[in-house]
Chains A and B, each alone.
Chain A
Amino acid sequence: RKIIFEKQWFYLDNAIGHIYGTTFEVTSGGNLQPKQEVEETTTETKEAGTDNRNIVDDGKSQKLTHDDIKALKDKGIKGQEIVQQLIENSTTFRDKTEFAQDKYIKKKKKKYEAVITIVKPSTRILSTMYYAREPGKINHLRYDTLAQMLTLGNIHAGNKMIVMETCAGLVLGAVMERMGGYGSIIQMYPGGGPVRAATSCFGFPKAFFDNLHEFPLSKVHSLLSGTFATETLPTDPEDNALVEEESNGLTEEKQASLQETEEEPSTEAAMEINPTEEQETMDINAEDVEFKENKENKENVREKQIKQWERRKKLIEAAALLREKNADGLIVASKFHPTPLLLSLLEFVAPSRPFVVYCQYKEPLLECYTKLRERGGVINLKLSETWLRNYQVLPDRSHPKLTMSGGGGYLLSGITVVLDKGKSDSSNPEELKMEEPSSKRCKLQDLPC
Chain B
Amino acid sequence: MSFVEYGDTIKDGDTAIVFLGHESMFPVKVQHGTVTQTKYGVIRHSTDLIGKKYGSKVTCSKGGWVFILHPTPELWTMNLPHRTQILYSTDISIITMMLELKPGSIVCESGTGSGSLSHALIRTVAPTGHLYTVEFHQQRAEKAREEFREHGVEHLVTVTNQDVCKNGFGVSNIADAVFLDIPSPWEAIGHAKSALKAEGGRICSFSPCIEQVQRTCLAMEEYGFTEINTLEILLRVYNVRTISLQIPDLGKAAEDNSSAGFDSSNPSHQGSPCANLQQGTVQFKSGVPLREVVGHTGYLTFATKS
| Chain A residues within 8 Å of B, Cβ to Cβ | 19-22, 36-37, 122-124, 127, 143-144, 146-148, 150-152, 154, 156-159, 177-182, 278, 326, 328, 350-354, 362-363, 365-367, 369-370, 379-380, 382-395, 398, 400, 415-418, 420, 434-435, 438-439, 441-442, 445, 447, 449
B67 touches A417 (CB 8 A): yes
Determine how close the nearest CB of chain B comes to the CB of A25; give it in whole angstroms.
16
Instruction: Please give, as numbers and ranges, the residues of chain A lying within 8 Å of B231 by CB-CB distance.
Output: 388-391
B183 within 8 A of partner (CB): no
Residue of B nearest to A413 (CB): B74
Determine how close the nearest CB of chain A comes to the CB of B1; give it in whole angstroms.
10
Instruction: Please give, as numbers and ranges, the residues of chain B lying within 8 Å of A389 by CB-CB distance.
Output: 231-234
> Complex Cα distance A146/B233, Å?
13
A352 touches B69 (CB 8 A): yes
Q: Given A146, A379, A442, which contacts B67 in the complex, CB threshold below 8 Å?
A: A379
B90 within 8 A of partner (CB): yes
B19 touches A383 (CB 8 A): no
B94 within 8 A of partner (CB): yes
B235 within 8 A of partner (CB): yes
> Looking at chain B, what size class is its interface with the partner chain?
35 or more
A393 touches B93 (CB 8 A): no
Chain B residues numbered 116-136 whose CB sits less than 8 Å from any CB in chain A? 120, 123-124, 126-128
Can you list 20 A-B contacts (CB < 8 A)? Answer: A20-B306, A21-B226, A143-B97, A144-B94, A144-B233, A154-B74, A158-B6, A182-B103, A326-B8, A353-B55, A366-B240, A366-B287, A383-B238, A386-B236, A387-B233, A388-B234, A393-B214, A420-B57, A438-B20, A442-B24
A367 touches B73 (CB 8 A): no
B214 touches A398 (CB 8 A): yes
What 4 A-B pairs come out closest when comparing CB atoms? Answer: A351-B55, A180-B103, A21-B306, A352-B55
> Complex Cα distance A367/B8, Å?
31
Determine how close the nearest CB of chain A comes to the CB of B87; give it in whole angstroms.
12
Determine how close the nearest CB of chain B comes to the CB of A234; give it in whole angstroms.
36
> Complex Cα distance A182/B210, Å?
40
Residue of A nearest to B71 (CB): A352
Instruction: Please give, as numbers and ranges, the residues of chain B lying within 8 Å of A390 by CB-CB distance.
Output: 229-231
Chain B residues numbered 27-77 whose CB sits less than 8 Å from any CB in chain A? 37-39, 53-57, 67-70, 72-74
Instruction: Please give, as numbers and ranges, the residues of chain A lying within 8 Å of B210 by CB-CB distance.
Output: 393, 398
B100 within 8 A of partner (CB): yes
Instruction: Please give, as numbers and ranges, the residues of chain B lying within 8 Å of A156 by CB-CB distance.
Output: 4, 103, 123-124, 126
Determine how close the nearest CB of chain A comes to the CB of B238; give it in whole angstroms.
5
A19 touches B90 (CB 8 A): no
> Complex Cα distance A392/B210, Å?
11
Instruction: Please give, as numbers and ranges, the residues of chain A lying within 8 Å of B93 by CB-CB distance.
Output: 144, 147-148, 150-152
A21 touches B304 (CB 8 A): yes
B100 touches A122 (CB 8 A): yes
Determine how close the nearest CB of chain A comes to the CB of B92; give it in whole angstroms.
6
Residue of A nearest to B6 (CB): A328
Instruction: Please give, as numbers and ranges, the residues of chain B lying within 8 Å of A387 by CB-CB distance.
Output: 233-234, 236
Instruction: Please give, as numbers and ranges, the residues of chain A lying within 8 Å of B127 by CB-CB distance.
Output: 157-158, 182
B39 touches A19 (CB 8 A): no
A180 touches B213 (CB 8 A): no
Determine how close the nearest CB of chain A comes to the CB of B13; give it in whole angstroms.
18
Instruction: Please give, as numbers and ranges, the residues of chain A lying within 8 Å of B200 by CB-CB distance.
Output: 19-21
Instruction: Please give, as numbers and ranges, the residues of chain A lying within 8 Å of B230 by CB-CB distance.
Output: 390-393
Determine how close the nearest CB of chain A comes to the CB of B66; give it in whole angstroms.
10
B142 within 8 A of partner (CB): no
B56 touches A351 (CB 8 A): yes
A438 touches B123 (CB 8 A): no
A124-B98, A157-B127 given as contacts; is B232 within 8 A of A151 (CB)? Answer: no
Q: Supply 18 further A-B pairs (C-beta < 8 A) apart from A148-B89, A417-B69.
A: A20-B200, A124-B98, A127-B97, A144-B94, A150-B93, A156-B124, A178-B103, A180-B104, A351-B54, A362-B238, A363-B285, A366-B285, A384-B236, A388-B94, A391-B230, A416-B55, A442-B39, A447-B37
Residue of A nearest to B242 (CB): A370
Interface of chain A: mostly helix, strand, loop or mixed? mixed
B287 touches A352 (CB 8 A): no
A434 touches B21 (CB 8 A): yes
> Complex Cα distance A350/B238, Å?
27
Q: Given A177, A370, A449, which contacts B240 in the complex, CB threshold below 8 Å?
A: A370
B96 within 8 A of partner (CB): yes
A384 touches B235 (CB 8 A): yes
A180 touches B232 (CB 8 A): no
Instruction: Please give, as numbers and ranges, the residues of chain A lying within 8 Å of B90 by CB-CB distance.
Output: 148, 386
A146 touches B57 (CB 8 A): no
Instruction: Please give, as numbers and ranges, the residues of chain A lying within 8 Å of B6 by CB-CB distance.
Output: 158-159, 328, 350, 353
Instruction: Please give, as numbers and ranges, the residues of chain B lying within 8 Å of A151 by CB-CB distance.
Output: 74, 89, 92-93, 96, 120
> Complex Cα distance A392/B214, Å?
10
B234 touches A398 (CB 8 A): no
Instruction: Please give, as numbers and ranges, the residues of chain A lying within 8 Å of B213 by CB-CB distance.
Output: 391, 393, 398
Determine how close the nearest CB of chain A comes to the CB of B212; give it in whole angstroms.
11
A178-B102, A439-B24 given as contacts; is B39 within 8 A of A449 (CB)? Answer: yes
A391 touches B22 (CB 8 A): no
Q: Given B97, B217, B226, B286, which contacts A146 in the complex, CB threshold below 8 Å?
A: B97
B255 within 8 A of partner (CB): no
A19-B199, A351-B53, A383-B238 given as contacts; is B20 within 8 A of A449 (CB)? Answer: yes
Residue of A nearest to B240 (CB): A369
A354 touches B234 (CB 8 A): no
Most buried by B among A152, A278, A418: A418
> Complex Cα distance A154/B4, Å?
9
> Complex Cα distance A392/B22, Å?
39
A383 touches B57 (CB 8 A): no
A20-B306, A366-B240, A445-B39 given as contacts; is B98 within 8 A of A354 (CB)? Answer: no
Q: Given B55, B217, B224, which contacts A37 in the complex, CB threshold below 8 Å?
A: B224
A352-B54, A390-B230 given as contacts; is B22 within 8 A of A435 (CB)? Answer: yes
Most buried by B among A147, A179, A394: A147
> Complex Cα distance A230/B126, Å?
37
B237 within 8 A of partner (CB): yes
> Complex Cα distance A151/B87, Å?
13
